[in-house]
Amino acid sequence: MLFTVSDLKTILLPVSAFACATAPIHSFDRLLHALIWIWIHQLMCNVSNQARTRLEDAINKPWRPLPSGRISEPQALVLRWVTVGAAFSCSAIHGGDLMLTTFCLFLTTFAYDELGLAGHHIAKSVCNIGGYTTFEIGATKLMGATHDLDNVSVTAVCISGALIFTTIQAQDFADVEGDAILGRKTFPIYAPELCRIATVIAMSVWSLFLVSFWGIGTVSGATFVVFGSFVGSRYYFLRRPDDDKLSYLLYNIWLTMVHIMPNHARTQLFAY
């Protein structure tokens, strides 16, 4: 569980909200299957990443299994491949299209960790697009009445991918010290001032665009735009590591709100 705990707010919660809103939920049984599928695939990604970042985690997240001594690096590498098998087995239960989704997520994770794409800010953002969108596609297929994605679902996934590409640097501000030790060139390390400015602009512009695109009501839309601009502004004006950690928590709340918005196209959930 410790492998996944820090990403429950970044993967499990936003992706579950996205699938619930976009599919939408067909039954409690499908909801349960989707949550299990998301968590097992998140575990696959987390173990793969953490098996090779013990030094970074010793600084940024010392409570994780490797830096805390709960598991050795060789054991983590074995567990990494066990989780791959578990993910494919979980998808096999639900059909070939889910196995293809798992394969795409595995390739993304392999490129991110084994091929070192996590070390460059652009390559890392591309991998994050692949990661989030495959999670979203798989969860939405499981949550709905069928595995087919309609126009609302496809549009929502495409928007999510573009949004992740332009805002996911939000996760890197609090980890600058550990990333620097590993020699990574994340956006906050490569261009610290530009990155903070870009985050403010991206979150504000996306908030305005999404309210308009999904036809959100005045009160709901204004609340969302104000919150998105507030979170983006925090990244610019509050720069201590503890501030960045709180800002990232708020970013994930904003991201979850983003992922709920497609439901408005089906139910007029945010009419006011």
pLDDT band at 68 (very low <50, low <70, confident <90, very high): confident
| Residue indicated by tokens 């997240």 | 61
Task: Name the CATH architecture for the domain at 5-267.
Answer: Orthogonal Bundle (1.10)
DSSP string, 42-89: HHHHHHHHHTT-HHHHHHH-TTSTTTTTSS-HHHHHHHHHHHHHHHHH
Digit-coded pLDDT (tens) for 144-173: 878 889 899 999 999 999 999 999 999 999
First to last CA, the chain: 39
pLDDT band at 1 (very low <50, low <70, confident <90, very high): low
Of the listed ranges 62-66, 77-81, 208-212, 259-263, the one predicted with least confidence: 62-66
Identity of the residue numbered 107: L
> Is 70 exceeded by the pLDDT of residue 75?
yes
